[in-house]
Chain A
Amino acid sequence: MLDRRLRLASIVVALIGLGAAGYLTYSKYAHGGVCGVSGGCTVVQQSKWSELVGIPVSVLGIVGYVGILAALAAPQRLELVRLALVLMTGVGFLFSLYLMYRAYITLDAFCPFCTTSAVCQTVLFLISATRFVVGPGHQPSLAAAAALHEDSGEAEDDAA
């Protein structure tokens, strides 16, 4: 039950992050990358840290969120899927942390959409790590299931 809730929360958070990254990408292209349109976000988006190998980091953000959502849609019992989620969200979290450092300390700029995405990555990483360590839900072990089965059998006997 807990795992399902955490998975649902991850999907919601990833969608919020996708929205923020999508808006940043839209604003970068729609405004033609000019100065003076949206304050802090423009400062961040025009900085040298706004592109990685020529690709805007907001586009990389979209790719990342889509990947996370795809992993969340995959069968969650597979440990590899959960590990992939940890790796994806972990890289996103650490990279966001670095970009936040550049935005707030180096550029002294407040970009609400960048911050939203960074918060989403942090939450996603924490949830993914927790889900990975806790394991795939509260599935009763075989022994516990056997005990449960016997219990119910005896209850039937007693009733008879």
Chain B
Amino acid sequence: MPRMPSGSKSKQEAARQARLEREAAERAAAERKKRLAILGGALVVIVAIVAIVLAAGVFKSDPSDDASETDGVTGVKETQEMLAGVPYKGTVLGKPDAPVTILELADLKCPVCKEHELTSQPQLVERLVRTGKANIDLRLVNIIDPNAGTSDGAGARTFANNLIASNKYWPFIHTLYFNQGNESEEWASEELLQRIARSAGAGTVSARETSATRTAEEGADKLFEGLQATGTPSIYVKPRGTNEYTPVSSFNDVDAIAKAVDDAAKKAK
């Protein structure tokens, strides 16, 4: 077979090569265009999926969302219902001579304490406090402020401790949790605290530190450190007549607390 002159052949080959490359490029561009269109459709689907999830409001519900509001204070009615007929004195809710004391270390700015106070506490009151099986000793610590760079938690704690003597500590604290703000913000203004105190039946409350509030704070801090608590809420059960505190790790498990109370009751003196 006669061979073509090499110059003509290479020209022809170059043209063929160029054509092949052009065709390949066109094919690639067409494929890319098709994929871009599919990607656009996928983006629409993605946005739709996320929008449906967010619009469905399937995030964790806030226990204070459905609470009643009285004179700009949320949860007054619910607090009254929980405490109705239950004795409380100072920091203790329930019969002072109950066989078991449930010690709760809480922070007024702690959102988990709010969850515990508004969801588990009413059940604990019904099952354990009203029945005389246990009382609840709620002590306030201040651990959120140092973490969040705020200072209103300390003020709120002092304010609450000023209500121990007038026996409005429990209604104030329970109502306050309904009105809790964002832990990283300074929401616990004196104006709000006074409003909540009024709703709890207290008059104008001093927001200043006194020797009594210092004693209460030192007592709570000492318990927190002594029991090596690492956060709030921390729950312990203590049999009557002893100084034996047993931690209950599942603070949001009412059954677990009830069981711990039953166990502790056997050791009560």
Contacts and interface: CB of A to CB of B under 8 A. Distances in A.
Interface of A: 31-37, 39, 42-43, 46-54, 83, 86-87, 90-91, 94-95, 98, 106-109, 129, 132-135, 140-141, 143-144, 146-147, 154
A132 B112 contact: no
Contact of A35 (B21, B107, B182): B107
A148 to B, nearest CB: 10
Interface of B: 13, 16-17, 20-21, 23-24, 27-28, 31-32, 35-36, 38-39, 42-43, 45-47, 49-50, 53-54, 58-62, 107, 110-113, 115, 143-144, 147-148, 182-185, 230-234, 249-252
Task: Kindly list the 9 A-B residue pairs having the minimum CB-CB distance in the complex, ordered from nearest.
Answer: A34-B231, A90-B46, A35-B110, A36-B143, A51-B60, A36-B231, A94-B50, A141-B24, A108-B184
Contact of B31 (A31, A49, A91, A135): A135
Given A83-B38, A106-B182, 12 more contacts: A34-B112, A34-B251, A35-B112, A36-B107, A46-B111, A46-B112, A46-B115, A49-B59, A51-B60, A98-B54, A135-B32, A144-B24
A102 B31 CA distance: 39
A35 B60 contact: no
Question: Looking at B42, B58, B234, which has the most chain A CB atoms within 10 Å of its CB?
Answer: B42
Contact of B233 (A34, A43, A109, A154): A34
Question: Looking at B31, B147, B233, B249, which has the most chain A CB atoms within 10 Å of its CB?
Answer: B147
6 contacts: A35-B110, A36-B232, A47-B60, A52-B59, A90-B42, A141-B27
Contacts of A106: 182
B43 A107 contact: no
A133 B35 contact: yes
Contacts of B35: 132-133, 135
B62 to A, nearest CB: 5
A37 to B, nearest CB: 5
A87 B31 CA distance: 19
Nearest to A53: B58
Given A32-B250, A36-B107, A98 B50 contact: yes
Contacts of A53: 58
B58 A132 contact: no
Contacts, number: 120
A54 B61 CA distance: 9
A84 to B, nearest CB: 10
Contacts of A98: 50, 54
B50 A47 contact: no
B112 A33 contact: yes
B76 to A, nearest CB: 23
B232 A48 contact: no
B32 A133 contact: yes
A119 B58 CA distance: 24
Contacts of B13: 154
Contacts of A49: 59-60
Nearest to B17: A147
Contacts of A135: 28, 31-32, 35
Contacts of B148: 39, 43
Nearest to A144: B24
A92 B110 CA distance: 29
Contact of B46 (A47, A87, A144): A87
Contacts of B110: 35-36
A141 B21 CA distance: 9
A82 B85 CA distance: 64
A154 B6 CA distance: 12
Contacts of B113: 35
Nearest to B147: A39
Nearest to B21: A144
Nearest to A88: B46
Question: Looking at A35, A54, A133, which has the most chain B CB atoms within 10 Å of its CB?
Answer: A35
Nearest to B252: A33
